[in-house]
Homo-oligomer: A and B are copies of this chain.
Amino acid sequence: MTNSEPPTEVPTSVVVIFHSGYGHTKVQAEAVRRGAAGVDGTTATLVAVEDVDAHWDDLDAADAIVFGTPTYMAGPSAQFKAFLDATSPRWQEQRWKDKLAAGFTNSAGVNGDKLATLQALSLFAMQHGMVWVGLGLLPGNITADGSVEDLNRLAGFVGAMAQSNADAPPEFAPPATDQRTAEHLGTRVATAAARWREAHRIELVP
């Protein structure tokens, strides 16, 4: 179960892969990456899903992958689903098994089936045998003293949620509060990945 090699000095690698139709989810993805990059010893890479073909090696080598997509018509965008479907050969080879995984999504409605999207991402990760790290925050803005400036104002748990008005350009939406929540997810995932790989000498059961 163990071997005597010390942990390597290779940085922890977090890849944030996302689709963004109008730029809002990209803003959120950048915040997740920023959060991850702020953790000492982490390399955080941002990959737009249309560029995935240049980044399969990064994904295969990652300690953690964070998946991000807008919520379109009650689930992940077709563009992002095309990427998920394209991982099927990797699933059959179990290449991503035991990596950490996390997710985020943006849509115009405050609920708007965002939970369904995050659950779809989590289910996908479960099929790959990945380990899921959620947002890890209490809900914000749930008392008279609360505010839309609270971390996790949208009260998500499975991942980071963001809300962008349908008529707001990505310069203005999602708001700073949702970007801070996304940043928190990045920080949490990078820290978890450092912890998880520190003990890489213990292999999980096949």
Contacts and interface: CB of A to CB of B under 8 A. Distances in A.
The range of chain A's interface size is: 35 or more
A126 B158 contact: yes
B113 A123 contact: yes
A73 interface: yes
B192 A195 contact: no
A56 to B, nearest CB: 16
B85 A72 contact: yes
A199 interface: yes
A174 interface: no
Interface string A123-136: 11111011111111
A119 interface: yes
A1 to B, nearest CB: 7
Given A1-B191, A74-B126, A110 B141 contact: yes
A165 B144 contact: yes
A142 B75 contact: no
